[in-house]
A and B are shown apart, each in its own frame.
Chain A
């Protein structure tokens, strides 16, 4: 078999040798790789790699030759580099561990093994989260006994970041959600001449569900992800270890301030979300349903009860605790380098959103069951 390439190189199979000639560089690696594989098919007992006519050979092509040689040797074909020009001796020498055995392909795992490993991983993560929550509860107990143990100094900037900095997006999103809610109901309500009930729909859905949920979603993306990234970066740069060697436990020092900050700002942001969500509904009611602002607000006052608002605020506190626990736990559990931080940040947002929706369902069913 003989193969001639139109370019500056040529590989041919001649008398038990693979003759490599010309200038072989990484720019031609793909075609060289195909040619080598084609020529190495059905090898004789001995097939040496002859470099005597090679003018230029770079490291990438050398690696391809080494791989061909390794595979030939594994299939029982004797294969040596022969005719190596003096200037290429070092390159060949650098690649002399080419006889490393071919690693067996990883065994395919069965479905049960895969399922088991996923279940075990889930169990491990759940255990870690429960342990972390336990450590947090213990730290809360310590701080309750001796408030000076908490890192109160960190609280103000955290509240500022989680709360004040988040106000614009909370306002805009809740305003839009309230308006969309009113828009969606407007068409149906018009059919029955029940325009005024837009205030009922928007008021109850915003205060009980939408404002706490939207605010929690925003907090997950802003604060939860930020907590995971901050603590994760501290973990990989050994700052957490440094804290521990100074006798400062990471949970009271780093986690509790973040928990307190979120618990403090979540009800405030949710209340703000309630107000602007209702305002969004009011805007649509006035402009689409020909309601007066006064009639909208009067209807709202008659239908909205205090429990609608406080159940929403209670939910927001539970969401805040969930976000802080997940974000901080993911951050402290980071292993590896930058990629680990990225993974934990993504996981934080996903876990937070999942947990918030599950928790919201539980609360809604619970409140309705007890008549709230």
Chain B
């Protein structure tokens, strides 16, 4: 019996049949690992993540999450998602943002929901910001709050879209540490889209690298294995070799 939580077979993603970003992509993600989707900008990382969570249908191929294809229906979700810019609801406080999925998918009284929301915020280091509006938060705080919201329903699987990009190196390292701590502490499987070398080296167990030239996965394995790859574009990625302009 396999321990794969996500199984992707012969996947093609993109906008139309003429604008394919990645094709023939096959990989599995094991329970409990922090799995990285790497690649340069415009290589299709976020598009792949959107396909994995069911926001955009793939052009071809199959995705299976715990045995069934991802479908965003009116039902309790099997996973949590953190979007690149947080996507917090601006008309609500942080506490209300986190309470929203709980109000929808649990029959807990308001006081219990508030207690859970407060605990989730404390978990990500925002215990004192329950009544803050997202508009008043810094980029790093917004990302932390979005992680807290993604954790609200205790999902076993977490998708994170570039959680540490656009932040200063210290905040970025703090977010990486937080993700690793949450994954280990809560026994989560984390799928992480990133191009941050520090994140790749410090928290990712296994990863794939997408390539926009060949529109395919050009490497798969542990970060250490990828660093030893002979593929020129994998080497260029890790060595930060700029593309000829």
| A residues lining the B interface (CB < 8 Å) | 142, 149, 234, 237-239, 241-242, 244-249, 252
Contacts and interface: CB of A to CB of B under 8 A. Distances in A.
B74 A247 contact: yes
B106 to A, nearest CB: 12
Nearest to A142: B74
Nearest to B82: A242
B63 to A, nearest CB: 15
B219 to A, nearest CB: 28
Interface in B54-80: 54-55, 72-77, 79-80
Contact of B104 (A142, A238, A245, A246): A246
B87 A247 contact: no
B72 A244 contact: yes
Nearest to A246: B101
B72 A242 contact: no
Main secondary structure of the interface of B (DSSP, over half): loop
A237 B73 CA distance: 21
Q: Sorted from nearest, which 8 A-B pairs have the closest CB atoms? A: A238-B87, A242-B87, A245-B81, A246-B101, A238-B83, A247-B77, A244-B72, A239-B87
B161 to A, nearest CB: 9
A242 B74 contact: no
Given A245-B53, A245-B77, A247-B72, A237 B104 contact: no
B104 A248 contact: yes
Interface residues of B, number: 26
B238 interface: no
Interface centre among B75, B104, B153 (most CB of A within 10 A): B104
Contacts of B27: none
A246 B88 CA distance: 12
Interface centre among A241, A242, A249 (most CB of B within 10 A): A242
A248 B100 contact: yes
Nearest to B153: A246
Contacts of A149: 74
Nearest to A151: B104
Contacts of A246: 77, 100-101, 104, 153
A206 B16 CA distance: 53
Contact of B81 (A237, A242, A248, A252): A242
B85 A245 contact: no
Interface of B: 50, 53-55, 72-77, 79-81, 83-85, 87-90, 100-101, 104-105, 149, 153
Nearest to A239: B87
A238 B53 CA distance: 14
A241 B54 CA distance: 10
A247 B73 contact: yes
A135 to B, nearest CB: 12
Given A246-B101, A248-B101, 19 more contacts: A149-B74, A234-B89, A237-B90, A238-B85, A239-B90, A241-B55, A241-B87, A245-B55, A245-B80, A245-B81, A246-B153, A247-B75, A247-B77, A247-B105, A248-B74, A248-B100, A248-B104, A249-B73, A252-B74
Contacts of B72: 244-245, 247
B101 A237 contact: no
Contacts of B87: 237-239, 241-242
Nearest to B97: A242
Contacts of A247: 72-77, 101, 104-105
Nearest to A154: B91
A241 B84 CA distance: 12
Contacts of B75: 247
Interface centre among B74, B80, B81, B83 (most CB of A within 10 A): B74
18 contacts: A149-B74, A237-B87, A238-B85, A238-B87, A239-B88, A239-B89, A239-B90, A241-B87, A242-B87, A242-B149, A245-B79, A246-B77, A246-B100, A246-B104, A246-B153, A247-B74, A248-B100, A252-B74
B213 to A, nearest CB: 18
A238 B54 CA distance: 14
Nearest to B81: A245
Nearest to A139: B74
A249 B75 CA distance: 9
A246 B53 CA distance: 11
Given A237-B87, A249-B74, A244 B100 contact: no
B76 A237 contact: no
Nearest to B83: A238
Contacts of A241: 50, 55, 81, 83, 87
A249 B53 CA distance: 15
Nearest to A153: B103
Interface centre among A142, A234, A246 (most CB of B within 10 A): A246
Interface centre among A238, A245, A247 (most CB of B within 10 A): A245
Nearest to A97: B245
B193 to A, nearest CB: 14
A109 to B, nearest CB: 20
A59 to B, nearest CB: 15
Nearest to A157: B91
Contacts of A249: 73-74
B190 to A, nearest CB: 15
Contacts of B149: 242
A51 to B, nearest CB: 22
Contacts of A245: 53-55, 72, 77, 79-81
A244 to B, nearest CB: 5
Contacts of A252: 74
Nearest to B104: A248
